[in-house]
A and B are shown apart, each in its own frame.
Chain A
Amino acid sequence: MSGMDAASLSLADASRLIAKRELSPVELTEACLARIEAVDGTTNAFITVAGDEALAAAKAAQESIARHESIGPLHGIPIGAKDLFDTAGLRTTSGSKILADNVPDSDSGAVERLRTAGAVIIGKLNLHEFAFGATGVNPHYGSARNPWDTERITGGSSSGSGAAVAAGECPGALGTDTGGSIRIPASLCGITGLKPTFGRVSRRGVLPLSWALDHVGPMARTAEDCALMLQALAGADPLDASCSTEAVPDYAAALQGGVKGLRIGVPTEFFFHELDPEVEAAVRKAVETLRDLGAEIREVSLPLIAEAPAAVGAIMLPEALAFHQRWLAERPDDYGEDVRFRLENGATFTAVQYVQAQRFREMIVARWRDEVFDKVDLLATPTTMRAAPTIDEGDLRITFALIRNTNPLNLLGMPAISLPCGFVSFSAHPEEPRDSSEEGNARRLEGPIGLQLAGRWWDEETVLRTAHTYQQATDWHERRPELAAAQASA
Chain B
Amino acid sequence: MPSTNAPTPETARTIAAGAGLELPEDRLQIFAAALSRSVEQTSVLLSMDYGRTEPAGRFAAPPASR
In Å, the complex CA distance between A447 and B55 comes to 41
- Please give, as numbers and ranges, the residues of chain A lying within 8 Å of B48 by CB-CB distance: 307, 356, 360, 363
- Contact B63–A365 (Cβ < 8 Å): yes
Contact with A along B22-33 (1 / 0, CB 8 A): 110001001100
A459 on the B face (CB < 8 A): yes
A369 proximity list for chain B (CB < 8 A): 63
Main secondary structure of the interface of A (DSSP, over half): helix
B64 to chain A, nearest CB (A): 8
Chain B 10-43, CB within 8 Å of chain A: the 1/0 string?
0000011011111100010011001101110110
Which of B23, B38, B53, B65 makes the CB contact (< 8 A) with A363? B53
Tell me whether A17 is interfacial, beta carbon within 8 Å. Answer: no
B60/A456 in contact, CB under 8 A: no
Asked if B60 and A361 make an inter-chain contact with CB atoms under 8 angstroms apart, the answer reads yes
Q: Does A88 contact B (CB under 8 A)?
A: no
Contact of A348 with B35 in the complex, beta carbons under 8 Å: yes
Most buried by A among B19, B20, B50: B19
Chain A min CB distance to B3 (Å) = 12
A396 to chain B, nearest CB (A): 12
**A310 in complex: contacting residue of B15, B35, B45, B50, CB < 8 Å:** B45
With CB as the reference atom, state the residue of chain B lying closest to A353: B42
A325 within 8 A of B: yes
Report the stretch among A65-73, A122-130, A185-193, A239-247 that lies at the interface.
A239-247
A346 on interface, CB distance cutoff 8 Å: yes
Residue A265 CB within 8 A of the other chain: no
Nearest-neighbor residue (CB-CB) of A349 within chain B? B38
- A365 and B38 contacting across the interface, CB-CB below 8 Å: no
How close is A59's CB to chain B, nearest CB, in angstroms?
40
Q: Are B59 and A199 in contact (CB under 8 A)?
A: yes
In the complex, the answer to whether A347 meets B53 with C-beta atoms within 8 Å is no
A365:B31 contact, CB within 8 angstroms: no
Contact A361–B56 (Cβ < 8 Å): yes
The closest CB in chain B to the CB of A414 belongs to B62
Q: Is the CB of B56 within 8 A of A212?
A: yes
How far apart sit A212 and B34, CA to CA, in the bound complex (Å)?
23
Whole-angstrom distance from the CB of A195 to the nearest CB of chain B?
13
Question: Contact partner of A307 among B16, B23, B34, B45, CB < 8 A?
Answer: B45
Residue total for A at the interface (Cβ-Cβ under 8 A): 48
Contact B38 A329 (CB under 8 A): no
Tell me, yes or no, whether A16 is within 8 Å of chain B by CB.
no
Report chain B residues within 8 Å CB of A459.
65-66
CB within 8 Å: A-B pair count: 119
Q: How many interface residues does B have (CB within 8 Å)?
A: 35
Residue A344 CB within 8 A of the other chain:
yes
Task: Find B45's partner among A212, A357, A365, A413 (CB 8 Å cutoff).
Answer: A357
Chain B CB within 8 A of A423 CB: no
A359 touches B59 (CB 8 A): no
Q: Could you say which residues of chain B place their CB within 8 Å of the CB of A352?
A: 46
Q: Kindly state the separation between the CA atoms of A326 and B19 in the bound complex, as whole angstroms.
A: 10
* A198 with B55, Cβ < 8 A, contacts A310-B45, A348-B38, A356-B48 known: no
Q: A458 at interface (Cβ–Cβ under 8 A)?
A: yes
Give, as a whole number of angstroms, the nearest-CB distance from A465 to chain B.
14
Question: Are B31 and A347 within 8 A (Cβ)?
Answer: yes
Q: Are A310 and B41 in contact, with the CB atoms below 8 A?
A: yes
Instruction: Give the nearest-CB partner of B31 in chain A.
Output: A344
Tell whether A348 pairs with B31 under 8 Å between CB atoms, given A244-B61, A313-B42.
Answer: yes
Q: Assuming the A-B contacts A344-B21, A347-B31, A413-B60, are A310 and B53 also in contact, with contact meaning beta carbons closer than 8 angstroms in the complex?
A: no
A197 at the interface (CB under 8 A from B): yes
> Given A356-B45, A363-B53, are A344 and B65 neighbors across the interface (CB < 8 Å)?
no
Query: A362 within 8 Å of B by Cβ?
Result: yes
Can you give 24 contacting A-B residue pairs, CB < 8 Å? A197-B62, A199-B61, A199-B62, A212-B60, A241-B59, A242-B59, A307-B44, A310-B41, A310-B42, A310-B44, A313-B42, A329-B22, A344-B21, A345-B31, A347-B15, A348-B15, A348-B35, A348-B37, A348-B38, A361-B55, A362-B54, A414-B62, A456-B66, A459-B65
Which residues of A are at the interface with B, using a C-beta cutoff of 8 A? 197-199, 211-212, 241-242, 244, 246-247, 307, 310-311, 313-314, 321, 325-326, 328-329, 341, 344-349, 352-353, 355-363, 365-366, 369, 412-414, 456-459
